Structure 1
Amino acid sequence: MQDAAVLKGTNDGYELVLDERASMNEIFSSLSKLLDKLKTQTASVSPKAIKFDVLTGNRLLTSEDRKKLEEIFSNYEYFSIHKVLSEVISNERAEKIRQQENVHVVDRIIRNGQDVHLEGDVIFLGTVHQGGKLFVSGNLYVMGNVHGIVQAGYPNIETKLIIGDLHNAQQVRIGEQFEILDDVSENNLTRESVVYVNDLHVIDYGKIEDLKRINPKFFNMVGGVING
């Protein structure tokens, strides 16, 4: 069986990628073996504290899972968790966003040929069918299914964001900028993509953990709730 916990090195440090298909017991067992091996490999050099970003993929850890994770790391003097990152916006996190920023929660079906215009920031829980269009004047958080066209910053505000799963969308628009997603590499899209307009005034893509770099003002406004 493939290891349920895999170590990856990045320019910013180390990531521990947890297999979202494995059971938590398999993940904890694999993680302990991985950290044991890493401890042995680094024993011959000067001890150095290492902080890991833990990536859980399309899985939300429960409080018990997080407690167990912390217990495992407590067995290793020089290893610790920097942050735990998921590609899922939980209902709890969505509620925090809604409460802090007066975001509107919308759960409806937008069918082929329908154009729906909404004011302000929106958490969208419904479905946009192919050929349907959702236009939002503020930021858009996609927690439903999008097979049509979505726009944030309608009609011409390029500082707004679209956050969420856009794998199946036909097109994304921010302000007057747009892109057909068939032309976008699958590697640019995650379950929690951040779509924005970059300094060159073209559509660009990032991950939720990059939000502070992408839009510091928005990151500060939500007070870290997105990554919480």
Structure 2
Amino acid sequence: MVTTNQLIVIKGTRHGLTLYLDDSCSFHDLYVELDRALSTDYMDTEDSMITVTVQLGNRYLHKEQKDKLRDLIRSKHKLVVQSMESNVVSKQDALQWKEDSEVQVRTKTVRSGQVLEVTGDLLLIGDVNPGGKVIATGNVFVLGNLRGIAHAGVEGNTAAVIVASYMDPVQLRIADFLSRAPDYESAGVYMECGYIDESKKIVIDRLQVLTKIRPELSGFGRSVLNG
């Protein structure tokens, strides 16, 4: 099903509807045309709720404008807005994304009782002693001995990883997942990584596996992994 208007293109798929909205006209004209486009008779034949994805193109909408479009779409028959997607972000969102994706380099030893916390990826050139703790919203790379606590993906990023030159931690955490040191005495391991596997458990494995299980690691990440 494809409905084409001057400013609106509606495409039906097995997952619902996708609305492609013109990104060059005024918001008022877009709103009026969308109201007209969603008033067609074919909507009345649906027996269940229809999910809608809105593609905004190169148009940026403020919260009030998004709410207005959502209210309009929801008022039509049995439509539910699933998402609104745009190629444009605000300066604030762009700066936040930049901060979240940056690598924070620290050269120090995190001693017992100390906590080192960063936004983005952490590259620690130094050791984490027992009783010390490092925290990052992204990945944690320790070019040294990890003998304390490391928490990666602290805001819920389950794809985050923890890498250490020497892995002998008291505790590893990724997002809300936890892995403690074994109750029995065991030796640490060199050039290892921790990640969440398909069974939703934190596992420690050879560093080389990251290129397969986390191919999205690129740029700086690849240089760290490949030495």
User: So what's the TM-score if we normalise by structure 1?
Assistant: 0.48
User: So what's the TM-score if we normalise by structure 2?
Assistant: 0.48
